[in-house]
């Protein structure tokens, strides 16, 4: 994981490199970036990281220490 400053060309280059063979990427302390063949496909690709985030958030509410042990 590289740290780059928000709004820089270096951050843009890092994201482009990360997206070479992927349809989604999580950018630490920023956002999830998703692409697709059309807007509908890009939206569908955005649902998976959001769903994973919801699962993790709910898991923390129910069992606050279980994620730390798994990682």
5-37 residue pLDDT tens: 878 898 889 888 888 999 988 777 667 889 999
Query: How many other C-beta atoms can be found within 10 angstroms of the C-beta atom of residue 33?
Result: 19
Question: Between 66 and 16, where is the model more confident?
Answer: 16
Q: Which residue has the tokens 């999830």?
A: 32
pTM above 0.85, yes or no: no
Distance CA 71, CA 1 (A): 17
Distance CA 70, CA 37 (A): 35
Distance CA 12, CA 14 (A): 5
**DSSP letter at 29?**
T
Phi and psi (nearest 5°) for 55? -60, -45
Model confidence band, residue 39 (pLDDT cutoffs 50, 70, 90):
very high
């Amino acid at each position: 994981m590289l740290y780059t400053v928000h709004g820089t060309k270096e951050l843009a280059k890092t994201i482009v490199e990360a997206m070479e063979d992927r349809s989604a990427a999580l950018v630490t302390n920023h956002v999830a970036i998703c692409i697709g063949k059309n807007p509908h496909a890009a939206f569908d690709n955005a649902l998976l990281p959001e769903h994973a985030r919801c699962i993790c958030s709910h898991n923390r509410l129910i069992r606050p220490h279980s994620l730390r042990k798994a990682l």
